[in-house]
């Protein structure tokens, strides 16, 4: 009680009580009697020194009370918000479910279905649903295609990634046949690409060859010898990069490892170059190799490490004509084929 508290304070300051003749204080029933002014001053100074500590304790208790009340209210708000969001989510999902109830029977698989307006809080959720629907619709459309058409589509998608906006024409609108020689091959390896081309010799002249790409090598066939293999096959793993023109020109340069560049001139025109580059990039990627694709306005290449040649252009030029140039241009755009 209060009396015990007063006694503890007096004992703390070592104040004397009666019957000591020189006592400092005396206790009554409800009051304390202080005999000396010095004792009163001592107690007052101690009280003033203790007040800041008491204020800190009171403030801490009050702030703790306010914080606990704020947390309780915040938790209540979060619970209300979670319940409301779940309600809006269920309501919006029911609308979507009704709109897409018969989407599997739709010939266009829901292409023209108008999505229900979503609350702002569900924007990301709706975007995710739309993305899922697009992927599902794409799979359904692809599933209706034949196996050959699916392979052709995937190949053109890869060609789009590699060559779109880098060259003026890469064969998007035409069918990619692959087998352009239409002759039985004596090589047992399956042919991925066959084409009549003109190859460049070290003297700057060209020679007609049948060009075949298998899953492992590039073959040059001599049409004058019933398309027999004219030289050793070029392994695909030895192809480090290709250079193609930015315009629709029928020339492609294969940069081979530790040997001269291989220059090919497509007699049928440049619309088949995109198909060839895409097949080559895909095959190298399957063998864990990335093909560098250079897209240049000026086609230059090297023979023997000392001679640079360039394709001569002109309205009257109907056959490939190559001339010497001073140096190889390096300020060109490069794209890495990552299938």
Report the percent of the chain where pLDDT is more than 90.
12
- In this structure, what are the phi and psi dihedrals at residue 3, rounded to the nearest 5 degrees? -60, -45
Q: Is residue 114 part of a domain?
A: no
Q: Is residue 220 part of a domain?
A: yes
Instruction: Give the strand pairing for 217-222 and 228-229.
Output: antiparallel
**Does residue 182 have a pLDDT over 60?**
no
What tokens were used for 298?
A: 């000026």
Q: Is residue 102 part of a domain?
A: no
d(CA 197, CA 212): 10
Q: What angle do CA 198, 200, 206 make, to 5 degrees?
A: 60
3-state secondary structure the chain: CHHHHHHHHHHHCCCCCCCCCCCCEEECCCCEEECCHHHHHHHHHHHHHHHHHHHHHHHHHHHHHHHHHHHHHHHHHHHHHHHHHHHHHHHHHHHHHHHCCCHHHCCCCCCCCCCCCCCHHHHHHHHHHHHHHHHHHHHHHHHCCCHHHHHHHHHHHHHHHHHCCCCCCCCCCCCCCCECCCCCCCCCCCEEEEEEEEEECCCCCEEEEEEEEECCEEEEEEHHHCCEECCCCEEHHHEEEEEEECCCCCEEEEEECCCCCEEEEECCCHHHHHHHHHHHHHHHHHCCCCEEEEEECCCEEEECCCEEEEEECCCCCCCCEEEECCCCCCCCEEEEECC
Q: What is the mean pLDDT of the chain?
A: 77
CB 193 within 8 A of CB 203: no
Domain count, the chain: 1
65 — pLDDT class (breaks 50, 70, 90): very high
CB 229 within 8 A of CB 271: no
- In this structure, what are the phi and psi dihedrals at residue 314, rounded to the nearest 5 degrees? 170, 155
Quick one: pLDDT at residue 332? 36
**Does residue 79 have a pLDDT over 90?**
yes
Quick one: pLDDT at residue 261? 83
**Does residue 186 have a pLDDT over 60?**
no
Q: Is residue 6 part of a domain?
A: no
d(CA 242, CA 219): 17
d(CA 260, CA 204): 13
Q: Is residue 146 part of a domain?
A: no
26 — pLDDT class (breaks 50, 70, 90): confident
326 — pLDDT class (breaks 50, 70, 90): very low
**Does residue 282 have a pLDDT over 70?**
yes
331 — pLDDT class (breaks 50, 70, 90): very low
**Does residue 284 have a pLDDT over 80?**
yes
Quick one: pLDDT at residue 71? 96
312 — pLDDT class (breaks 50, 70, 90): low
Range of the domain at 326: 191-337
323 — pLDDT class (breaks 50, 70, 90): low
Q: Is residue 260 part of a domain?
A: yes
pTM greater than the 0.75 cutoff: no
Instruction: Give the strand pairing for 300-303 and 307-312.
Output: antiparallel
Q: Is residue 174 part of a domain?
A: no
16 — pLDDT class (breaks 50, 70, 90): confident
d(CA 275, CA 174): 10
180 vs 84, residue with greater confidence: 84
d(CA 220, CA 213): 9
Task: Read off the pLDDT of residues 87-138 as tens digits, 9 standing for 90 and up.
Answer: 888 888 899 889 999 888 888 898 888 998 888 877 888 889 899 999 999 9
- Please report, for residues 102, 262, 274, the alpha-carbon distance to residue 88 in angstroms, rounded to integers and kept in the order given: 23, 64, 50
Please give the distance of CA 327 from its chain centroid, rounded to a whole number: 38
Quick one: pLDDT at residue 44? 85
- Please report, for residues 210, 242, 290, the alpha-carbon distance to residue 274 in angstroms, rounded to integers and kept in the order given: 18, 11, 17
Q: Cβ of 3: how many Cβ atoms within 10 Å?
A: 11
Give the domain CATH number at 242.
2.30.29.30
Task: Read off the pLDDT of residues 195-251 as tens digits, 9 standing for 90 and up.
Answer: 555 555 555 566 777 778 888 888 888 777 776 776 778 888 889 898 888 776 778
Residue 244 pairs in a beta bridge with 295
296 vs 141, residue with greater confidence: 141
Q: Is residue 126 part of a domain?
A: no
Give the mean pLDDT of 15-43.
Answer: 78
């Amino acid at each position: 009680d209060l009396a015990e508290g007063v006694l503890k304070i007096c004992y703390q300051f070592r104040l004397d009580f009666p019957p000591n003749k020189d006592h400092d204080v005396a206790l009554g029933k409800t009051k304390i009697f202080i005999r000396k002014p010095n004792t009163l001053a001592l107690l007052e100074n101690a009280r003033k020194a203790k007040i800041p500590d008491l204020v800190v304790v009171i403030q801490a208790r009050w702030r703790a009370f306010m914080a606990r009340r704020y947390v309780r209210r915040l938790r209540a708000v979060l619970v209300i918000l979670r319940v409301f969001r779940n309600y809006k989510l269920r309501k919006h999902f029911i609308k979507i479910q009704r709109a897409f109830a018969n989407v599997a029977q739709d010939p266009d698989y829901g292409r023209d279905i108008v999505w229900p307006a979503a609350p702002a809080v569900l924007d990301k959720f709706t975007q995710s649903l739309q993305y899922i629907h697009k992927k599902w619709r794409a799979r359904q459309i692809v599933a209706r295609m034949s196996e050959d058409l699916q392979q052709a589509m995937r190949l053109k998608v890869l060609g789009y990634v590699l060559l779109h906006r880098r060259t003026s024409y890469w064969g998007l609108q035409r069918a990619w046949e692959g087998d352009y020689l239409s002759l039985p091959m004596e090589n047992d390896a399956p042919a991925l690409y066959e084409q009549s081309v003109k190859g460049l010799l070290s003297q700057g002249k060209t020679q007609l060859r049948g060009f075949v790409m298998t899953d492992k090598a590039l073959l040059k066939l001599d049409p004058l010898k019933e398309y027999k293999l004219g030289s050793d096959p070029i392994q695909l793993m030895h192809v480090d990069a290709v250079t193609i023109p930015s315009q629709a020109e029928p020339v492609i340069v294969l940069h081979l490892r530790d040997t001269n560049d291989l220059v090919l001139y497509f007699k049928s025109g440049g619309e088949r170059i995109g198909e060839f580059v895409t097949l080559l990039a895909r095959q190298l990627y399957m063998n864990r190799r990335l093909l560098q694709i250079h897209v240049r306005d000026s086609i230059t290449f090297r023979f023997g490490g000392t001679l640079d040649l360039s394709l001569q252009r002109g309205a009257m030029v109907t056959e490939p004509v190559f001339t010497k140039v001073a140096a190889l241009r390096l300020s060109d755009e490069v794209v890495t084929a990552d299938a």
